[in-house]
Amino acid sequence: MSLEANKKLVADFFAHFGRKDVEGAMNMMAEDGTWWIGGKPELFPIAGLKSKQAITEILNSLVPGTKDGLAITPSAMIAEGNKVACEAESFGVLPNGRTYNNEYHFLIEIKDGKIASVKEYLDTMHTADVLKG
């Protein structure tokens, strides 16, 4: 795939969350895909390396319950080879009424037209604070 096609794939992948379409996003991941979330698992339980099945469960516990979806809006992308670096911001109102508005850096690897791996760097303190409420 071209660099522009890789960036479009990433943008399309994140757009699914704004439509509460976790299944559509996960269909864009390779079956053996992984998702790593920054943080110390003993302090931030969702941190660490997750299989596609595990991250699907996490996302299904969060995204469908949001008021209008969890918009993840890329603000910048750089592509090289089969990787896309993406800066993004999320916005969503959770079932507990709290607003989730985080900033990220994602490093996404693409293989055979599918998302092979996601590395997610985020504000873990904001996530923990909003989810606990």
Mean pLDDT across the chain, nearest whole number? 95
Place of tokens 């979806």: 69
CB 13 within 8 A of CB 5: no
In the beta sheet, which residues pair with residue 34?
A: 51, 117
**What is the per-residue pLDDT across 99-121, written as a single tens digit (0 to 9) for each?**
999 999 999 999 999 999 999 99
Phi, psi of 103 (to 5 degrees): -120, 145
d(C-alpha 100, C-alpha 132), whole Å: 12
**What is the per-residue pLDDT across 36-45, written as a single tens digit (0 to 9) for each?**
999 999 989 8
pLDDT at 1: 84
pLDDT at 133: 55
- Cα 113 vs. chain centroid, distance in angstroms? 17
d(C-alpha 122, C-alpha 133), whole Å: 19
> pTM for this one?
0.93
Instruction: Please choose, from the candidates 95, 96, 22, 102, the residue with its C-alpha nearest in 3D space to the C-alpha of residue 65.
Output: 95
pLDDT at 106: 98
